[in-house]
Amino acid sequence: MLKDKIVLITGSSQGIGKAIALKFSSSGAKIALNDIESQEENLKRTKEEIEKAGGHAKYFFADVSKFEETEKMIQEVQKEFGGLDVLVNNAGIVQDRTLAKMTSEEWQRVIDINLTGVFNSTKAALPLIIQSRGKIINISSIVGLKGNFGQANYAAAKAGIIGFTKSLSKEVGRFGVTVNAVAPGFIETRLTENLSEEMKVAIKNFTSLGRFGKPEEVASLIAFLASKEADFITGEVITIDGGLAV
C-alpha cells in the first residue's frame, strides 16, 4: 500500500519508531531513519534489518530540538530520495518527577524535544509534504489526553502536539495534506521498561485487554493513517491503548 513512498521517521533507531520503519518498509516504502548521533549503533542495526528483509533505508543524524540540524536533515533526505511523502514525528523522551521537584531544565528539555521537535521537523518538511500531497503523523500519548502523576512536562508536550495537529490540519487541508496524531497507552519499549513491577501490574489491571501494547501494533495504525485508505481522515487523535482510557 505504501510502495515507493518516501517516509521519514524521527527517533527511529529503536522502540516504536523502529517498528514503524520495519512496517513501512515491508509495505514497500523507502525509509529515512533519524536519531541523535549517540544512537548510531542502533540506527545501523535497524538499517541492516530493513535491508536484510529486502527494503531500502538510509539514516540521518539530527537532534530534532534544534531547528538548523533538523532543516539540514530534511535537505539531506530530499537530496538522497528526491522528496518526502510521509513524516512521522516520533522522537520523544521522558524526565518524570512531580512538579514540586521538577527543575526548569527537566521541564524545558521535555518540551524542547517532544513538542518543539515536532514544530522543527514539520516546519522544515512542510514544503516537501505539500509538494507530494503527503501525510504527517504525530505521536502524542494517552498522557496528553488524561494527564499522569509525575509527568506534567510530558503531558503538556503531548497535549501540545494535539493542538498543533488540529491547527495544522486546518491550514494544509487545502493542499490535500492530512495531519493526524496517535495517542498510545503503555507500549513495551525502553520508555516503559523502568516502571516498577507494582506500577506495571496496576496499569495492566486498568487496561481492558490486561496487557501492554506492542510497538508493532502502534506501527500498524500509523501505516494505515499513512495509506490511501485514510485519505479522508485529518485532524484526528486516535487512541491505541487496549482500553485503558475507556
Active site residues: 154
Number of residues that bind ligand NAP (CB under 6 A): 30
Asked if 15 is part of the footprint of ligand NAP (rule: CB under 6 A), the reply reads yes
Phi, psi of 118 (to 5 degrees): -70, -40
Min CB(188)–ligand NAP separation in Å? 7
Applying CB under 6 A, which part among 22-30, 61-69, 98-106, 230-238 lies near ligand NAP?
61-69
Helix (H) or strand (E) holding 122: helix 117-131
Asked if 35 is part of the footprint of ligand NAP (rule: CB under 6 A), the reply reads yes
Asked if 124 is part of the footprint of ligand NAP (rule: CB under 6 A), the reply reads no
Nearer to ligand NAP, 130 or 237 (CB): 237
Nearer to ligand NAP, 29 or 64 (CB): 64
Q: Which residues lie closer than 8 Å to 230 by C-beta, 6 or more apart? A: 135, 178, 180, 224
Q: Which residues lie closer than 8 Å to 8 by C-beta, 6 or more apart? A: 32, 34, 60, 74, 77, 84, 86, 87, 88, 121, 125
Q: How far apart are CA 225 and CA 182, in angstroms?
A: 9
Q: Which residues lie closer than 8 Å to 162 by C-beta, 6 or more apart? A: 140, 144, 145, 181, 183, 237
Min CB(84)–ligand NAP separation in Å? 17
Nearer to ligand NAP, 19 or 126 (CB): 19
Contacts for 105-109: CB closer than 8 Å, 24+ residues apart: 106/153, 107/152, 107/153, 109/65
Min CB(223)–ligand NAP separation in Å? 15
Q: How far apart are CA 205 and CA 200, in angstroms?
A: 9
The pattern of x and - marking residues 183 through 212 that bind ligand NAP according to CB under 6 A reads: -x-xx-xxxx--------------------
Binding-site member from 55, 92, 134, 242 for ligand NAP (CB under 6 A): 92
Complete edge-to-edge strand list for the sheet that includes strand 30-35: 56-61, 30-35, 6-9, 86-89, 135-139, 178-184, 237-240
Angle at 86 between CA 223 and CA 82, to 5 degrees: 135
Min CB(26)–ligand NAP separation in Å? 18
Asked if 113 is part of the footprint of ligand NAP (rule: CB under 6 A), the reply reads yes
Nearer to ligand NAP, 40 or 80 (CB): 40
Min CB(154)–ligand NAP separation in Å? 7
Q: How far, rounded to the nearest angstrom, does the alpha carbon of residue 6 sit from its chain's CA centroid?
A: 16
Asked if 115 is part of the footprint of ligand NAP (rule: CB under 6 A), the reply reads no
Applying CB under 6 A, which part among 29-37, 98-106, 162-170, 222-230 lies near ligand NAP?
29-37
Instruction: Give the residues lining the site for ligand NAP (CB under 6 A).
Output: 10-11, 13-17, 34-36, 38-39, 63-65, 90-93, 113, 117, 139, 141, 184, 186-187, 189-192
